[in-house]
Amino acid sequence: MCGIYINADPILYESRTRAIRVHGVVTTVRLENLFWDTLQEIASREGLTTSEFVVKLYDELLTLRGEAPMNFASFLRVCCARYLSLSAARNEAAADAPHGNAQKLKVVQAG
């Protein structure tokens, strides 16, 4: 049952620290490679670099909440989990839709 999880490539759960400049201040963020890969995927869909996307998330969170979270790395992990969850739900909906509608959903997802 757990094979799908325990057979994951160890490089995916290896941590990596990156320095990110947020409005002139350099800060470091340590995340597992899987999360860096997911952030890179989201950023490229948005036409941004990973660093630009992380700063955009930071700024929008600051605007919404008035303060940054105590643990920004955890916030980024939750963002990735939400993205992957929503992607899986869209893919499932597309697979369950009648053939014609599945094609329409794929076009909407690409846009």
Q: What does the pLDDT average to over 8-21?
A: 93
Q: Where are the domains of the chain?
A: 3-110
Going by pLDDT thresholds of 50, 70 and 90, the confidence category of residue 103 is low
Task: Specify the DSSP element, H or E, that contains 29.
Answer: strand 25-32
* CATH no. for 3-110: 1.10.3990.20
Tell me the percentage of the chain whose pLDDT exceeds 70. Answer: 86
* pTM (two decimals): 0.77
The dihedral region occupied by 9, where left means phi > 0, alpha psi between -120 and 50, and beta the remainder, is beta
